[in-house]
A and B are shown apart, each in its own frame.
Chain A
Amino acid sequence: MLAIHGISKCYGQTVALHPATISFIAGKTTALIGPSGCGKSTLLRLLVGLIPPDQGIIQFDGEELREDNLQAIRRRLGYVIQEGGLFPHLTARDNISLMASRLDWSDSQIDERLSELCSLTKFPRDGLNRFPAELSGGQRQRVSLMRALMLRPKVLLLDEPLGALDPLIRADLQRDLREIFRAAEATVILVTHDMGEAAYLADSIVLMRAGKIVQQGLFQDLWRQPADEYVTEFINAQRSPLETMTVEGEAQ
Chain B
Amino acid sequence: MTSLLRIELRKLLPYSTFWVLLVLQCFLLFVFFYARGNVMVNGQMAGAELYQFPKLWMHLAYVSSFLNLIPGILIIILVSDEYAFRTLRQQVIDGFSRANLVQAKYSVILLLAALLAVYVVFLGLGFGLFYGNNTGNETSMFTNVQAIFYYLVQLVGYMSLAMFIAFLVRKTGLAIMLFMAYTLVVERLIQWKTPDGIDQYFPMKSLGALTPNPHAEVEQLILGASEVLTPMQALMPVVLYVTLFCFLSYQLLRSRDL
Partners in one complex: no
* B interface list, Cβ under 8 A from A: none
* A interface list, Cβ under 8 A from B: none
